[in-house]
Chains A and B, each alone.
Chain A
Amino acid sequence: MPKLINRSAVIDNPWTVMKVSTGPEILKVVPGKNFIVPLQFWRLYQEELNEYDGNITVWLDSNENPEQISGEINSLSLIALNFPVFSDGRSYTNARELRQKYAFKGEIRAIGDVLRDQLYYMAQCGFETFEIRHDQEAELCLNAFKDFKTGYQSTITEPTPLFRRR
């Protein structure tokens, strides 16, 4: 089970991220689970998903856009955003847009190539939980949220930019 943290602790992870290559038969094989499914799966297998007895939500890849699920965003309690590689910065913008444009109040989870040295900025952009890559030490990762005491910008965690707080 991949390690999950929030900004202060290691937490339980009841959700399983479904890979892009997985087919709908999995829903029959493992009932009663909590799946975060890829957008394509979410679109293609609505019927199967509706019949499933576990919890289901969606993850967006970095080349996908919250606009593609705009009608459903606020019925969800969790949306995951993928980092196919840590240096792909698009999911930062997706996270901010979920918060700013769609006023999404649920949990935004970082999945994929999630590493210690990007966690601080992710948190600033509205990510709440982080499924860290298997080789990352959870304790070390928790330090990341203390990298900076404050910043200049208007962010999701600190909407008032420094120039209005000085």
Chain B
Amino acid sequence: MYRYDGYDHQMLADRVAQFRDQTNRYIDGKLSETEFLPLRLQNGLYVQRLAPMLRIAVPYGMLSSVQLRKLAYIANHYDKGYAHFTTRQNIQYNWPALVDVPDLLADLAEVEMHAIQTSGNCIRNTTTDQFAGAAPDELEDSRAYCEIIRQWSSFHPEFAYLPRKFKIAVCGTANDQAATQVHDIGIYIVKGDNDKIGFRILVGGGLGRTPVIGKEIFDFVEKKHLLTALEAILRVYNREGRRDNKYKARIKILVKETGVEEFKKKVIEQWALIKDSSLTLTDEEIDRCQKFFDAPNYQKLSNSPAQLTDKLQSNVLFAAWHSQNVNPHKIPGYSIVTVCFKQTGVAPGDVTDRQLEQLADLSEQYSFGEIRISHKQNIVMADVRQDQLFELWKALESGAMVSHNLGLLTDVICCPGGDFCALANAKSIPIAESIQRKFDDHEELTNIGEMNLNISGCMNACGHHHVGNIGILGVDKKGEEYYQVSLGGSSKNNASLGKIIGPSFAQEEISDVVETIVGVYKDKRNDDEKFIDTYNRIGINPFKEKVYAKAD
């Protein structure tokens, strides 16, 4: 993975010192609340319901074992012994004290980590497919480009006070797992003429109040022009994005109001000014960044060794986990393992300090000392030998990390919601739990099959409810917490936004509603048809009829 050199370290040290000074001035009353606000946000610090919340950047989700141990230490030392994986592949702590934050950031800097631009109206953490570099269906490893974008966007002097937050995703795999089309800028690595690799760029996607699928602005951008293209888009957005209304300030509204063709014209005008400037990427820089993601030292192995197949035959639980949580790898004899953090009774994405340490140990033993966080709030060990899968599973079992509901209905994406977040209209964690309790039979879950259910506690949509096959949104109805249900969303290649099924439900009704929806699907599906395909075939009405018939 990427390693810092003297320059990166220097910048980070400068940033920590800068924020320490800002925090001191704020505490001394020399910096007003309003003036401190964007400064602390751009250092990851929110003021939440119970305490400040600190969001730590995990560039494109990659973590080393050394970093994991530091995160465990921080969970223990500054928090209440746990951390939380977010839908931007980041990590959040819910309990650090404001005065401790500069020290916490200095601790993070020791392991090349920070909380820079994880919040505020600036360019946020660039995300990608959690299987990058290991997936068999990959055109090129996206991580080198994520790193190039990370550097370009970190401390960018022109774009620190954008109209609103700005999110970029890069996807190099055929099967999009990065929700690329619902980003402010979505970048697909594509093959152009003469098999040349470059980028297809979408703009103006996003979730939040007004969910939109991104629109193509360039069908092919040469590698060397990546940063100048991004800079041109951002420049148009910074100047023209709406600043009069926070809810209309994302680039998706600008693109919609301007029209994508007109927007593109403006971008091309800006681009022409810088296209061959010093910001043009060099082959050396692309090489340099790619080298950090060179394949680890794989052994020459073959697929399906006896150590694996024997255990698959003899151990049903292991087999269930294997069929759900293990994916094919591009190298023979290796697999990609996803550790699912969606255990019933534990808030989705929550992880304890002990588990973080254990993951660090296991990653060293089984996956070259690295893990990734997925935007679905799970952990990926990308390079596990198939003959060691059983051992790894046993070890995960001892740490209570063998949930085998990955990709199933109970692998819920869920924001912290009203239990922690000051913005939320309603709680989301108890909703996740009620659904997980209702569907606690693994056989039934696998029978239902691939299905994703996403929960957000408010329309800011941190839980990606718009793109859930089933989406649940917390709403405020005369001071009471209610939940709106939508169906048919997807964040994959054929991205689509869910449609609201009808009037909202009380908290205690939700798990029954989900059960009814699942019942309709099971009645209507053909053979192996997935939920989303059945929904697309039969539409929302059969679900609607049943759900509201029951309510009467």
A residues contacting B by CB (< 8 A) are 65, 86-90, 92-94, 96-97, 100-101, 115, 117-118, 120-122, 124-125, 147-155, 159-164, 166
Contacts and interface: CB of A to CB of B under 8 A. Distances in A.
Contact of A88 (B22, B161, B285): B161
B38 A87 contact: yes
B35 A86 contact: yes
Given A87-B161, A117-B39, A164-B282, A152 B239 contact: no
Interface stretch (B150-158, B349-357, B513-521): B150-158
A117 B22 contact: yes
Given A90-B239, A100-B274, A151 B285 contact: no
B317 interface: no
Given A115-B35, A163-B281, A148 B238 contact: no
B323 interface: no
Tell which of B14, B39, B154, B163 has the most Cβ of chain A within 10 Å.
B14
Nearest to B151: A152
A153 B7 CA distance: 12
Given A117-B31, A121-B160, A148-B18, 5 more contacts: A89-B121, A101-B273, A148-B11, A154-B278, A159-B278
A90 B242 CA distance: 11
B155 A152 contact: yes
Nearest to A96: B158
B235 interface: yes
B277 interface: yes
Contacts of A92: 157-161, 238
A150 B239 CA distance: 26
Given A100-B273, A117-B39, A164-B278, A151 B239 contact: no
26 contacts: A87-B38, A87-B161, A88-B243, A89-B158, A89-B159, A89-B160, A89-B161, A92-B158, A92-B160, A92-B161, A93-B235, A117-B39, A118-B160, A124-B157, A147-B14, A148-B15, A148-B18, A150-B7, A150-B10, A150-B11, A151-B157, A152-B155, A153-B157, A154-B279, A159-B277, A163-B285
B165 to A, nearest CB: 13
Interface of B: 5, 7, 10-11, 14-15, 18, 22, 31, 35, 38-39, 121, 148, 151-152, 154-163, 235, 238-239, 243, 273-274, 277-279, 281-282, 285, 288
Contacts of A151: 11, 155, 157
Given A89-B238, A151-B155, A152-B152, A166 B161 contact: no
Contacts of B160: 89, 92, 118, 121
Contact of A90 (B10, B151, B238, B281): B238
Contact of A89 (B22, B162, B285): B162
Contacts of A148: 11, 14-15, 18, 155
B254 to A, nearest CB: 13
A156 B313 CA distance: 65
Nearest to A84: B243
Contacts of A87: 38, 121, 161
A161 B278 contact: yes
Contacts of A89: 121, 158-163, 238
Contacts of A166: 5, 7, 288
B116 to A, nearest CB: 12
Contacts of B38: 87
Contacts of A93: 158, 235, 238-239
A62 to B, nearest CB: 8
Nearest to B237: A93
B22 A162 contact: no
Contacts of A162: 7, 151
Contacts of A161: 152, 278-279
A118 B159 CA distance: 12
Contacts of B151: 152, 162-163
A147 B7 contact: no
Given A163-B281, A164-B278, A166-B5, A155 B10 contact: no
A123 B282 CA distance: 26
Nearest to A153: B156
A155 B7 contact: no
Nearest to B17: A147
A97 B158 CA distance: 11
A147 B18 contact: yes
Contacts of A150: 7, 10-11
A125 B239 CA distance: 14
Nearest to B269: A101
Nearest to B161: A89
A97 B273 CA distance: 9
Contacts of A96: 158, 235
A39 to B, nearest CB: 16
A38 to B, nearest CB: 19
A125 B159 CA distance: 10
A96 B121 CA distance: 19
A37 B152 CA distance: 36
A154 B277 contact: yes
A155 B152 CA distance: 11
A120 B157 contact: yes
Nearest to B274: A100
Contacts of B273: 100-101
Nearest to B35: A115
Tell which of B10, B22, B151 has the most Cβ of chain A within 10 Å.
B151
Contacts of A155: 157
Contacts of A121: 157-158, 160
A130 B256 CA distance: 36
Tell which of A86, A90, A122 has the most Cβ of chain B within 10 Å.
A90
B474 to A, nearest CB: 29
A147 to B, nearest CB: 5
A162 B278 CA distance: 10
A125 B11 contact: no
A117 B281 CA distance: 30
A112 B251 CA distance: 26
Contacts of B163: 89
A159 to B, nearest CB: 6
A-B pairs, top 9 by smallest CB distance, nearest first, are: A89-B161, A124-B157, A121-B157, A163-B285, A152-B151, A154-B279, A148-B14, A92-B158, A93-B238
